[in-house]
Amino acid sequence: MSDDDFLRVEAHDCPMSSCAAPAGSPCRTGKGKVAIGYHTARFRLVPSLAKALKLPTPALRRPGAVWTELPRPTAAVTDSGAHVRIGYARASTVRQSLDTQLDSLRGAGIGRIFSEKISTRALVRPELDKAVALAREIRASGAAITLVVHEHKRLGRGIELAALAEQLKAADIGLEFLTGELQGSHDPSGVVFTVLAALSGMEREYIRDRTLEGHESARGRGKSIGGVSVVDETMLAMALHLRASNHSLRDIAERLVITTGKKRGQHPSPATVMRLLRDHDQSMGGDAEHAHAVAELAAVLDRLPADTRPGLPTVERYDDLLPSRRRSRESVPEREQQAAQELSVRRLVRQVIEPGEVFEVGDLLARLARLGLAMTPDKVSGILDYWAARSQLTLIRPGVYRRPLEPDDAA
C-alpha cells in the first residue's frame, strides 16, 4: 500500500449507512469520532485495494478526535471500472466442512467471504443477510457488485432461492458460480435466477422421492426403518408387572435393562416405556383386557395355598392398581402393598424350587402346573427377570436361573 491510498478511498462517499461520510472526509464511528480505519465497503471501491483486509486512517486525519466534515476534493478520483466481488459459503450441518468452498473462493481472488453452517430450511441465515446487505451498500455507492458462490446449491432451494433471486435482481447485484451446471457470471436481469429456483425445487423433490422409494423397498424385504428396537417380550412382561404394582414410568425404566444391541446393559428411557405400555394397551383392547387380567389373577389366587400369600391384595384392590381404575387406597399404604406382593412371589418360588437349584422357565411352569396353577411363560419370565434384577435369583443365561442359598435355607 502507498501513502496516498487514503486519498483514493476518500474520493468516494462511504456506502455504510451507519457512517455515510462524504467524499473528502474520513470514516466516522457511531459516537461521532474519526474512525481508526476506513470501512471495508468504502476502501474496496478502489480496485487496487479490493483484496486488502484493512486500511488505517492516517494520523493527519486525527483518528479518535471529534469528526467534522472536510471539503470535498475539487477533482475527485474516479474509478469507473470499480467492481467488487464478495463471497458466500454454506454447509447444511456442523459436521460438514467448508474447506472446499473457502479454498475455491480464495482461489478466485475473493477477499471478503461470509460463511455459515445452517440448513436452507432456516428462515433466517445471518451471514447471507450480511453479505446481501453489504452488496446493497456497495451497489448504492455506484460500484458494480457480484456475489460469488461455489455452487448454486449453496444459496438455497425452491421458494427460498426464488425470493433471494428477487432481492438480488431488485438491488442490481450480479451472481457468479465457480462450479456446477450454471458455472460463470450471470446478469441479475437475466432468466438464470428463475431457472435456478426451478432446478433446485425439482432436485429437492427428487431427493425426497428417492428416499421414500428406498424406505418402501427396505420394508418389502423385511427390514425395519429407523433405530433398532430395544424392547422385547420379556421387557414388556416386566413393565406390566411393575405397572400393576403402581410404579411410575421413571421407576419402571430404572428397573428395566436392555439385553440386546449397542445399548445392552443400559436402562430404557421413560418415553420408551410409555410407548411400550401404550402400544400394548391399544393392541389388547383397553378395559376388556384389564377385566380379563383381573379374572385371571383371581383364578390364580384361589389356587394358591393360604400360607403362601399373606397380606396379598384382594381382587378388588388389584383392580384399583389398573391404569384406568386407579383410586385412593387409604386403608392399605402403597409400600405395604408392594412388600406383600414381593413376599408372596418369593414364597411361591421357594415352595417349588430348591435352594441352589438351577432351573429353566419350562421346569417352573411344569411344577406350578402340578400345583394346579396355570401361568403363561411370559408372566413367569417377567417374575423371574424381576427377581434376577434384584439379586434374588441368579441369571445363568437367558431362560436359565439359579436360586441362591439364603440364611434361612442353610438353617
CA-nearest of 86, 64, 67 to 14 is 67
**SS3 at position 201:** helix
CA-nearest of 205, 91, 204 to 154 is 91
DSSP class of residue 74 equals: S
Q: Which residue has the cell 460463511?
A: 115
Q: What is the spatial distance between Cα 257 and Cα 268, in angstroms, rounded to a whole number?
A: 7
Within 10 Å of residue 291's Cβ, how many Cβ atoms?
A: 14
Contact 308, 351 (CB under 8 A): yes
CA-nearest of 143, 167, 174 to 14 is 143
If 0-12 CB within 10 Å is exposed, 13-18 middle and 19+ buried, where does residue 67 land? buried
Reading the block at residue 227, the C-alpha cell is 433405530
Helix (H) and strand (E) counts in the chain = 15, 8
Q: What is the spatial distance between Cα 134 and Cα 130, in angstroms, rounded to a whole number?
A: 6
Catalytic residue among 18, 25, 80, 92: 92
Beta bridge partners of 176: 148, 185
CA-nearest of 196, 208, 188, 114 to 160 is 196
The contacts of residue 174 (CB under 8 Å, 6+ apart) are 144, 145, 146, 147, 168, 185, 186, 187, 188
**SS3 at position 64:** coil
If 0-12 CB within 10 Å is exposed, 13-18 middle and 19+ buried, where does residue 213 land? exposed
DSSP class of residue 56 equals: B
Contact 393, 401 (CB under 8 A): yes
Give the largest CA-CA distance in the chain: 115
Q: Has 92 been annotated as catalytic?
A: yes
Within 315-406, residue ranges assigned H as helices are 315-321, 334-352, 361-370, 377-389
**Catalytic machinery residues:** 92
